[in-house]
Amino acid sequence: MALRIVVAGEIYVDQVLTGFRAWPRPGEEAFGESLTRETGGGAPHTAAGLARLGWEVTLAGPVGDDPWLHARLEQVGLGTAGLTVSATEPTGTTIAISMDGERTFFTYRGANKDVDSVLRNLPEADHLHIAAACDANLLRALVDRAKTVSVDAGWHPEWLRDEQVHEALRAVSWFFPNEIEAAELTGETKAENMLKRFRELGIPAAVKLGPAGSAALSGERCVQISSIQIEPLDTTGAGDCFNAGFLDAWLRDEPIEVCLGAGNICGALSTRQMGGINGFPTREELNECRSRLR
């Protein structure tokens, strides 16, 4: 029987503007050279990646009355039965300005203000991936709703420092912080020390290290796998795409080295195109890249 995979969390529409020559001063107007509209947020990025690799995935989260978004999610192969349409708020929206290799974001949460109520009423799942910083009590309840659970809450400093959250994370299968988030939670700056601290806390973690790849523990051993080299066009959602690649391998019972390597490949290749999902590799591309690295 195929696994029932649910990916839940905040959902956004990203409007990415690029090609500005300079940042405008107050009262001035700047004109970009391109505009990309794409579904955004950690939950859609990870869900779409898993769907691209052949899994049946239901995306759960709050949205507005937005026909374009529903059509786009179905286009990338996602089941939308888990979406909750707000009667009063639009879909969350992020305006991203990309210039000189840096990005600036302006965000309105919109329907995502009600994400906790959606999380409390998720469809049944064999594997549940949570892309939200839900409180410790809700996280404990969600862990009981699926056979396996993974979490990537993103950058929420107070949540990362919350000892009740640490306790709840002990029950998940995988926690996916990047190195900045891992440093905030553990107080450590080196990957191996971060992972040792996660082990002391009882939290199973795979740490994303950006261009340096990723790392996790295998027994007592720290396993760090280097990323592949690629000239990125847009790094939006690369960490979420890592999650999809890692989970695809892990759900297939691959060893940790393969899980980390697959995550690295998916995260890196996702940066080939604008938006968080357009560059995500197919199964054939992933396998080909893995074969070249052996």
Looking up tokens 């888990």 gives: 82
DSSP class per residue in 140-205: HHHHTTEEEEEE---S-HHHHH-HHHHHHHTTSSEE--BHHHHHHHHS--SHHHHHHHHHHHT--B
Q: What is the pLDDT of residues 104-120, one digit of tens each?
A: 889 999 999 999 999 99
Q: What percent of the chain has pLDDT over 90?
A: 82
Q: What is the pLDDT of residues 253-276, one digit of tens each?
A: 999 999 999 999 999 999 998 888
CA–centroid distance for 221 within its chain: 26
Grouping H, G, I as helix, E, B as strand and the rest as coil, residue 259 is helix
The pLDDT of residue 184 is: 98
Amino acid identity for residue 261 in this structure? G
Q: Give pTM, 2 decimals.
A: 0.93
Looking up tokens 């959602």 gives: 237
What's the full length of the chain, in residues?
A: 294
